[in-house]
Every structure is written in C-alpha cells, then in structure tokens.
Chain A
Amino acid sequence: MASGIRDKVAILGMGCSQFGERWSDNAEDLMIEAFTEALADAGIEKNQIDAAWLGTAIEEQHVGKSAVPLSMALRLPNIPVTRVENYCASGSEAFRGAVYAVAAGAADIALALGVEKLKDTGYGGLPQRNRGSVNDLFWANVSAPGSFAQLASAYRAKHGIDAGDLKRAMAHISVKSHDNGARNPKAHLRNRIDEDKVLNAPMIAEPLGLFDCCGVSDGSACAIVTTPEIAKSLGKHDLITVKALQLAASNGLEAQHNSWDGSHFVTTRKCAERAYKEAGITNPRDQISLFEVHDCFSITELVTMEDLFISPEGGAVKDIMDGFYDADGKVPCQIDGGLKCFGHPIGASGLRMIYEMYLQLQGRAGDRQRKEEPVFGMIHNLGGFPHQNVCSLAIVGKMGA
C-alpha cells in the first residue's frame, strides 16, 4: 500500500494573477504575473527550479500545443517542462506533476503553472469546440451549463425536493460567492448580488440562470514546491504541506451503465474517500477548515458538498440555507469567491484554489481572512461533464497537522 503524499512536499511559494477580462494581455503576460509573485514569495532564483509543469486546457485558444510556451514565457533554463491537460483539472494536474517530482526525489524544486486566456472568442461562455471525430457522430449538443444543469433534475427526482427550494439554495450559493468575491481584490467579479437577482436572471440552461454560472476569465496561478527539509533550509517556517492529492476519472459507467442516477458525481465520492485516507482525516465535516470546490455552476457546488461527505446525502439544501458554507459559517466554501467570482481561467483554477488555501493557512488572506485559524484546506476540481469527468482533490494544511 502506497504511503501517500502526506507532509512529503511543502509549498515554497505561490502567485496568482489578477483574474478577469484581461483584454490587453496575452497568456504570456498572465503567466509572468503569477510567476513573478510566486518566485518572490519563494525567495529563490529562477535557476533553482529543476522542472516545471504547465496546465492549460483550451490551448488552441491561446498558447497552442506543448510546454514550450511556458519555457519561453519564463525563459526557463532548458529544464524539463511538461504540458498537462485534463479538462478543468488541468491546473491541479500541473501541481500533481510538480509535487510528485519532488516527492520522488527527481527534483528538489519544481514549478506548476496554470494559465488560460479565454476572452478571445468573441462571445460569452466557454469556447464551443468539436469533441473528437467519433464523439461528434453521437454526442448530444451539450454545453457546460446544459450538462451540469441536468444534475438538478436528477437530484430533485431522487430526493423529492421542490424546484423552488432547490433554486433558492442554488441562489444562496451564488449570493454567498459574490459576497466573498467582493472582498477579494484579485477576483473577476466583485459585485454583491441578492437572491432576487439570481432568481430573475435570464435562463441559460434550465434551471441554471445567468448567476448560477461561474465567470469565464483570463488568469494564471503558480506554485513552487519543494521538500519540507529544503524549505526549512531556505529559512521557511510554519510550512504548508500537501496532505493528499487524488484524482478519479470516469470509466464510462455513468455514461453507459444504469447504476448511476445522474444526481451526484461517482468520481468525487471515490476520490474523496482516498483523499481523506491519504491525509489521515476521519471526520471531514469537523476537520476540514475551508473548501474551495469546483463551483462551475451553483448546482455543482451543492451536489459536491454531499459527494465530499460534508453534507449528508439530500441534506445540502439545509446546510446551505443554514449558512453552514458561508464565509462566517462553520466551514466556509469559496471564501475567495470561487470559480463563480474569482473567475475560471480553466488551466489556472486548481492552482488558484491552492493559492487561496495557502494564503488562508498562513493568515495572509487580507479582508477575507478566516478568523478561526484554518488547519486543513480542501481543493476540488471537476472537469468534463457529470456523466463523464475527472475529479481532482487536494488537501493542504499545516505541516504536522
């Protein structure tokens, strides 16, 4: 049995660009913005980095193929650089590559950088693209909101929840994230909204209205990781270490086998069990201090809080309406505004979530700093569609916790 990643790798430094509609910037500009902050935070020189990973998902829209764009943008000294793509978990995959390289002893210091420059399509929402020559022959004409919206129909049918009650809980999620985003200077959307605004917004994909959908943003985030020993030797203390890194990919069961009812994420549940085990967490509802989950749509966040075993199955609506996940609630979820308001530059998103946890765990999150001292932060990415996806989970926390 593998011993897992717990406390084997420490975060040496992190950076995150301003997220938003960066009309005047290319992907390279965003990369350097995140990297410069991370390098300064780590307190090292560029030539101390042994290897790097680039996470980006819709590369045709900006940098094109391969990891060369990262190597060129940062002028890295011909070190190994790898590009990874795994839907919306691409940033987390870059982090996984860097962390594993350090844990394996293949690199002393490794870099993970995620970037996406999406606001060059000419329209709102994610870029519409082909899905592969065979898939195009039979896949339904799904958009991202349309595929996630279906969770609501299946969830309601399974738990007998009134459409209005579910829609209000979803609205609460968005209102909460806007409140949180308003306190985050790097967030794409910083306006506060109310429940009426969410409920009366134009419909995108029933029952998801405009404010049930996250922002589509430009941005980049970056992590530099090393071993706890090297971090200490570089003068770091109160280390933030990686407690768990897990990934679960669909194998076609949800899409093709009738054992799945469409109301939850098969991958998230399996991934969560493994992540808690790897981190030594036995009671996540009490032990996890903060969540950054993949709130691409309000319904995704609602369902995910059950799949992570925080709310009981069918109980997320109550927890949400009780304020359990609010910034001042028992376990804040998206304290930085989440994908909803911080924004969702796909390849950067996983690293952006880790960035927020890194700041919160060190007490560096400014106006939005959680008062109760956080110990463990959990990061969740969900890429693809509810019926066919990858789920990535990371838990970071204080060294030794």
Chain B
Amino acid sequence: MDLGILAFGGYLPQSRLQRAEISKMHGWYNPGLKGLAKGERTIANWDEDAITMAVEASRDCLAGLDRSEISAVFMASTSFPFDDRQNAGVVADALNLKSQLMTLDLAASQRAGSSGLSVALQAASGAEGPILFTASEQRKTKAASPQEMTYGDGAAAVLVGKGEVIAKFIGSHTVSADFVDHFRGSGHAYDYAWEERWLRDEGYLKIVPDAIKAVLDKTGITASDINTFCFPAAMKRVASMLAKKAGLADEAVADNLQATCGEAGAAHPVIMLVHALETARPGDKILVTGFGQGCDALIFEATDAIEKLAPRTAVSGHLARRRADTNYARFLTVNGLVTMEEGIRAEVDKQTGLSTHYRNRDMAQRMIGGCCTECGTLQFPKSNVCVNPNCGAIGTQEDHPFADKKARLNSFTADRLTFSPDPPAYYGMIQFEDGGRLMADFTDIDPDQELAVGMPMKLMFRVKDYDKNRGFRRYFWKATPDNDDQASAPAEAAE
C-alpha cells in the first residue's frame, strides 16, 4: 500500500487587509513600506487563532470522511495560543475525534510545518490509522513593520497514511543549519529580523539548493520532472532563482500567494502544497520546501485517486471567500497594537472553572448535544429530560454531534451595548435542520450583507472569551452565514 496524502483541506480568514491602507497610515514613518503596499493579506478575526484556523482547515480536509480511523493529530505552528496545554488536543476535541489518539504539537521554527509533515508521514507508515496533520499560523507583527505587510494568517490540513492516496509520498530530505534570519525569544510577542539581503544570499540561495539536490538524488527524480515547486517565502524572485539553480522548470514555480494571502509562516508550505494539490493531475510531481534553521524538501506524486476526491473549499475556495478590509484601525485594535478604551463592561471576569470546563467539554468544545432515544428529538445542550413537550423522557439522550449541521436564522440583532472587541456584537437564534437550536454568537458578519430570518447558517469553531487576567481563552462554536448554501430558498418560519 502506498504512503501519502489521503485528503487535504485549507482555511484562510475571510478578511483581507488591503496593504495600501497600511502604507497610507505609516508612509510618513516608513516610506519603504510603499514598495510592499500591493495586494492584500489575510487577517484572522478577533476570535480566531492558530487553533481555530487549524480546526477549520481540518474540517475541510475531513469532510465526508470517517473520522474514527484517525490515529493521531499533529499540529504545527509558531503561534500556538498555549505554551503549556496541548493545542493539537483542542483541535482533536473540536473535531470530535475519539480519545484513543496520539496528539502532538510541533513548534519553534518556520520548518515546523514541513518537518512536521515529514514526521507525520514517517509515523503514519507504522500507525494503525491515518494521521491528521495540520499547520496553522497567526503571527503577531509590530505596526509599520515589513512583516505586517508580508505575513498572512491561515492554516492547512492533510490526512496522511497508507491506502488509496491522492498523492504518493516519494521522499524527503532535511538540511539542518542554525541560520537565524529571525527569531522570537520566549515571552516576546514579535519577531526580530536580520537584513533580508543576507537571508537571501546566505540563507535561501545556499541552503535550499542543497536540500533540493539531496531529495532529488535520494528519490531519483529528475529536476525537470517536477511540475510544481512550492517555496513558501514572501521575498520576490527568490523562488525563480532557486528553480534556475536547481534545474527546475520556471513554470513549475508555484504562486507564493503573496498578492492574495501573505506568508503564513510554518503553515505556508502546507498551504502551498494544498493549493498545488487542488489542481494537480495524476502523475504530477510536487516539490515542497520549508525554510527555517535549515531546509526541508518533500516530493509528492499525484495519483489517479486525486480525480475522485470530493470537492472541498481548500485554499482556492477560501481565497474566493474574501472580504476586502480597508479598516486598518480595526486590525490594530484587535491585535492589541493600540490601547483602546474598552469601557467598564469589558471588566467582567472571564475566569473559566477548569473542572467545569472539563466536565462539560463534550458540549463546550465538541458541540455534542442530545438525541432522545424515545422520540428522536434533537436538542442542544443535552439534558436529563427531553425538551420535546410531548415526550419528556428522562435519561434518554444519546450523544449527537451538531458542529457540521446546516442551520437557518430565526432571529438576530447587532448589539452595541454588550462588550465586543469588534462591535457590534451580532448574535441570534439559529435552528438546525434536523432539530435543535442555539442562541449563538455570530462571527465573520459582513456589514454589507443583510441578515434575514430564514437564511442558511453554519457553525465555526472560534474563541468565545479571552481571560486576559490569566492568559486562558475558551472556545465555542459560532454561527456564520452559509454563503455556499444561499441557493436554497429560505424555509418557512417555525410554528
């Protein structure tokens, strides 16, 4: 049985900050930003982080698949929300995976994504079931820094294992070198970067060719046979220079998504791989590299099965699910780059009882409700007594997952009184198609889109509350318009 990629998925936040807006704001201070002020970058919403984006990419990857066979979840990032609480474990919970599962975080280098993928493939060759590998990144940047221009937020996920793979793993090679073009010390929020010319000449152009040559030699693949070359760096022209140096076809150089997304750190090699897989034809060979204290190089070959893979949103779909954002002030605000007057309402203590949280984790993270075995009524949350007034049976609720259900909007408001980091706070009642409902917070509401009773909604995994006093954050599911489902006519109001 072949080892490789069984499925893939991607996620990019909806909001696309227009780089010209950054330049407009900071041009007086750093005129050099103007050279970078083209296109747009993805920016995570205030309630998104590496975990929530990894969850969405993984849901995209696993759509329609049986999740019970998954034997491990590996997550790579350099922007984990938790230093000591396993981030991959939260992802696995949100995906409602079984608990008999290996979970692991891979961190501390821009190579976490590419090295992590290599490790996941190696592990999967001896594992009982496929491994979900996800890479996700939401790096903080200082205002008016080049990184603010070039970075982007996003995630990708691949299911790796043995079987009917859509892309066969051909081989990989890693060069390790403690080349520090930038770093982020423990307890520091922002990257500290050295001169780009040195990074290009001594880093990219010397270390990457070594890795490419080695993986080609190791696998016996001819450079000119590579159809797609993923080099996940923002710097202009470097990928072409590398291709030339390594003997790769110039047409093989993949779009680094700098114009539309920005460079998503450790997740970017995987995002580019997923983007390449979306259009790969059987037989296509994809070379993926990851740079950071050395270089990883991995080669995949698409199989016939790729043509049978069910359509998914992946990277292209998320690139299309975009909203041009010209509100740079909001970006500064939600990233804590300006000190906003939040008002006394924001002072409500958001402490989470960890025992309460653990006891209620099926509800609070897995979005598990109940299904009455007496009458079949669905409800969220689960309770001892069935909510159906004609039933009321006690102790008949079986676990029932709600996260992937289609829903419709019943009632809504846009609230400017309650505290929200991004006012107004949108929320309302949503009703699930097979039964059950939730008074839910909404997220990713486009102010230009009219909400209407009956419109299709879906759930996304998001940060519910930040406990700023203690550094904890709690997650829950929020509703967002299901714009892919707009074609279906609004349902009749209930009753």
A residues lining the B interface (CB < 8 Å)? 121-123, 125, 128-130, 133-134, 136-143, 145-147, 149-151, 153-154, 156-158, 202-206, 208, 251-253, 255-263, 385, 387
Contact = CB atoms under 8 A, between A and B. Distances in A.
Of the listed residues A150, A203, A253, A256, the one surrounded by the most CB atoms of chain B closer than 10 A to its CB is: A256
B429 A387 contact: yes
B357 A137 contact: yes
A214 to B, nearest CB: 13
A123 B342 CA distance: 12
Contact of A204 (B377, B416, B435, B439): B416
B415 A142 contact: yes
A125 B474 CA distance: 26
20 contacts: A128-B348, A129-B348, A137-B352, A138-B476, A140-B439, A142-B418, A143-B417, A145-B413, A145-B417, A153-B428, A154-B410, A154-B453, A205-B414, A251-B387, A253-B389, A255-B439, A256-B383, A259-B495, A261-B493, A262-B429
Interface string B414-443: 111111100011011101000111111100
Given A130-B349, A150-B411, A255-B439, A203 B416 contact: yes
A51 B405 CA distance: 54
A207 B432 CA distance: 25
B454 interface: yes
Nearest to A213: B417
A146 B356 contact: no
A362 to B, nearest CB: 39
B46 interface: no
A154 B411 contact: yes
A150 to B, nearest CB: 4
A147 B424 CA distance: 14
B441 A140 contact: yes
Contacts of B436: 256, 258
Given A123-B343, A157-B454, A257-B437, A142 B412 contact: no
Contacts of B356: 133-134, 137
B439 A252 contact: no
B383 A252 contact: yes
Interface in B449-495: 451-454, 464-465, 474, 476, 493-495
Contact of A153 (B383, B415, B453): B453
The 3 closest A-B pairs by CB, nearest first: A146-B415, A157-B453, A150-B411
A258 B437 contact: yes
Given A151-B411, A205-B417, A260-B494, A137 B474 contact: yes
A134 B360 contact: yes
A153 B437 contact: no
Of B415, B441, B495, most A-chain CB atoms within 10 Å: B415
A139 B439 contact: yes
B381 interface: yes
Contacts of B345: 123, 125, 128
Contacts of A151: 411
A150 B439 CA distance: 11
A138 B364 contact: yes
B310 interface: no
Given A146-B413, A256-B380, A257-B387, A141 B360 contact: no
B388 interface: yes
Interface of B: 343-345, 348-350, 352-353, 356-357, 360, 363-364, 377, 379-381, 383, 387-389, 410-420, 424-425, 427-429, 431, 435-441, 451-454, 464-465, 474, 476, 493-495
A253 B493 CA distance: 16
Nearest to A385: B439
Nearest to B433: A258
A154 B476 CA distance: 25
A128 B344 CA distance: 9
A125 B410 contact: no
A125 to B, nearest CB: 6
Contact of A258 (B425, B435, B453): B435
A203 B357 CA distance: 35
Contacts of A257: 377, 379, 387-389, 437
Contacts of A256: 379-380, 383, 387, 436-437
A125 B344 CA distance: 11
Given A142-B418, A204-B416, A253-B387, A137 B453 contact: no
A134 B362 CA distance: 12
Contacts of B451: 153
Contacts of B439: 139-140, 142, 147, 255, 385, 387
A385 B352 CA distance: 24
Given A203-B416, A204-B415, A204-B416, 4 more contacts: A137-B360, A205-B415, A255-B439, A258-B436
Residue in B383, B410, B414, B419 whose Cβ sees the most chain A Cβ within 10 Å: B410
B93 to A, nearest CB: 13
Given A154-B493, A257-B389, A138 B381 contact: yes
Given A205-B417, A256-B380, A137 B364 contact: yes
B415 A143 contact: yes
A118 to B, nearest CB: 14
A263 to B, nearest CB: 8
A204 B387 CA distance: 33
Contacts of A259: 389, 494-495
A206 B364 contact: no
B476 A153 contact: no
Contact of B344 (A123, A203, A252): A123
Nearest to A157: B453
A158 B415 contact: no
A149 B364 contact: no
A28 to B, nearest CB: 25
Contacts of B344: 121-123
Contacts of A206: 413-415, 424
B418 A141 contact: yes
Contacts of A202: 416
A150 B428 contact: yes
